[in-house]
Amino acid sequence: PSKPPLLQLRGFSVAYGPVEALHQVDLDVHEGEIVTVIGPNGAGKTTLLNAAMGLLRSSGTLAVDGQVVPRVSVERMVAHQVALVPEKRELFGEMSVEDNLLLGGFARWRRGDRTQRARMEEVFAIFPRLRERRAQMAATLSGGERQMLAIGRALMARPRLLMLDEPSLGLAPLIVREVLHTVARLRELGVSVLLIEQNARAALQIADRGYVLEMGAVALHGPAEDLLHDRRIIDTYLGVG
Ligand code: ATP
């Protein structure tokens, strides 16, 4: 018998009052996978991540390692080692890169514990730029560096699944590539990724599988490689270039 998915959503729906924003979504993230969800503005991508993290009330089922999580809450998802980097990165601007990272691991802090330092070294191995700037105030980092710090901070808690909400938002195209390239390297830390992106091409290039969300429902899903060559996806989401 094959291993159940790390994260599995079945018939997953979310409503804002009378308005259904997410409709019966089925989605899997297997251990070691990078899965991306692409789709236009307002398709429900942010809603999907926030509900999967327990920030919004949902219906349907969410399972971790094949075990259904009842009444999905942030506390339960954190206990299952799921982390979310929201679209607003919300760093502590007046604190150094290093202190921002240490705060991310705070929940796992033990007195006399050296594992946080070791973890920081692992994060620095993925983001050498953060090592160079470890003493610099977060507020003075570039947009790309701030995004890397937000991801690095979430990694400090040693998540098994990292959910990223549009890490490329507001970044120049070259920096988008750099940030997504580092997301691809999270595999080295044994972290699985659920990545929400508007930048469909760049996201599909680093992902194993992709889902296309349209008006709150999954319109299409499959191996990222297939989606990159799908005529409909090319015409609607990839454009020229
Ligand atoms: P974007 O990329 O623009 O953030 P998205 O795909 O992430 O889009 P969501 O932000 O999840 O889309 O929004 C999905 C739908 O739900 C939209 O129609 C949006 O207007 C609506 N919506 C989002 N948040 C709320 C809210 N708090 N109350 C009511 N409706 C909301």
pLDDT tens string 186-202: 988 899 999 999 889 99
Q: Are strands 59-64 and 34-38 parallel, antiparallel or unpaired?
A: unpaired
In 3D space, the residue among 120, 79, 84, 80 whose CA is nearest the CA of residue 103 turns out to be 120
What does the alpha-carbon distance between residue 38 and residue 27 come to, in Å, rounded to a whole number?
Answer: 13
**Ligand 1 closest atom vs CA 17:** 29
Q: Which residues pair with 61 in a beta bridge?
A: 10
pLDDT digits (tens, 9 = 90+) for 100-113: 787 776 655 555 56
Structure confidence at residue 113 (pLDDT) = 62
Structure confidence at residue 105 (pLDDT) = 66
Structure confidence at residue 188 (pLDDT) = 84
Collapse the DSSP code of 26 into the 3-class scheme (helix H, G, I; strand E, B; otherwise coil) and give the result. strand
Cβ of residue 46 lying under 6 Å from some atom of ligand 1: yes
Cβ of residue 21 lying under 6 Å from some atom of ligand 1: yes
Structure confidence at residue 241 (pLDDT) = 43
What does the alpha-carbon distance between residue 185 and residue 207 come to, in Å, rounded to a whole number?
Answer: 11
Cβ of residue 43 lying under 6 Å from some atom of ligand 1: yes
Mean pLDDT score, 137-159: 91
57 CA to centre of ligand 1 in angstroms: 14
44 CA to centre of ligand 1 in angstroms: 5
DSSP code of 189? G
Specify whether the CB–CB gap between 220 and 233 falls below 8 A.
yes
Specify whether the CB–CB gap between 145 and 106 falls below 8 A.
no
For the chain, the maximum distance between any two Cα atoms, rounded to a whole number of angstroms, is: 56
What letter represents residue 112's amino acid? G
Alpha helix stretches (DSSP H) within the chain? 45-52, 74-79, 97-104, 115-126, 128-132, 143-155, 173-184, 200-206, 224-228, 231-233
Task: Determine phi and psi for 238, rounding to 5 degrees.
Answer: -100, -25
What letter represents residue 3's amino acid? K
Nearest CA to ligand 1 atom 30: 16
50 CA to centre of ligand 1 in angstroms: 11
Give this complex's ipTM.
Answer: 0.91
Nearest CA to ligand 1 atom 11: 44
Cβ of residue 42 lying under 6 Å from some atom of ligand 1: yes
Nearest CA to ligand 1 atom 28: 16
For tokens 């972290």, the residue is 191
Which of 45, 88, 195, 199 most suits a substitution to test ligand 1, by most atoms within 8 Å of the C-beta? 45
pLDDT digits (tens, 9 = 90+) for 41-81: 899 999 999 999 999 999 999 999 999 999 999 889 999 99
Cβ of residue 14 lying under 6 Å from some atom of ligand 1: no
- Entry field: residues in the chain: 241
